[in-house]
Amino acid sequence: MRTWIRRSVLAVFGATIALGGLAACGHHHDRHAWSKATPEERAKMREKMVDRVAGKLDLNAEQKAKLGVLADRLQEQRATLMPAGTDPRAEVRSLVAGDKFDRAKAQAFVSQKTEAVQSKSPQVVAALGDFYDSLNPQQQAKVREFMDRRRGWGRS
């Protein structure tokens, strides 16, 4: 084979590999999709999550309804902790924006978040308890196994 043909084939092959790699890396999961979603998109994500968990645990209609209530309570608490349109990182950055740490603003920030957790936690705990107590022993074992395997809820 002639040198220029070989070089052309290798160049096309290399470009294909490079573009394929860039395309694969360019598509990533947005970790903050929930915060940027519209209410309709949030409802779809919630339903998808409830259906996925219901499928993995083989939930009946009553258990699925209790899982839906739990999802609603968690969303309410999240909305209270992080109201729409606020950037928590910007709030924290503002504490160190000047030459001195803004202690009063930091304490107010912590107090606000603590109050939000305290006000919504009883509802979340009740919903979680209702859901977990409605599971049969095999389903509860699956939940514990899932938590052990994942070492918490947020890790992959």
22-72 pLDDT, tens per residue?
565 555 555 555 556 677 888 888 889 888 988 888 889 999 999 899 888
Own/partner long-range contacts of 81-90 (Cβ < 8 Å, ≥24 apart): 81/113, 81/116, 81/117, 82/35
pTM score, whole prediction? 0.66
Phi first, then psi: what are they for 110, rounded to 5°?
Answer: -65, -45
Cβ neighbours of residue 120 under 8 Å, at least 6 residues apart? Answer: 73, 76, 77, 80
**Domain ranges for the chain:** 1-30, 40-150
Is 40-150 assigned to CATH 1.20.120? yes
Whole-angstrom CA distances from 43 to 47, 58, 88, 97 are: 6, 22, 23, 37
> How much is the average pLDDT of 1-29?
63
> How much is the average pLDDT of 116-122?
84
* pLDDT above 90 for 87: no
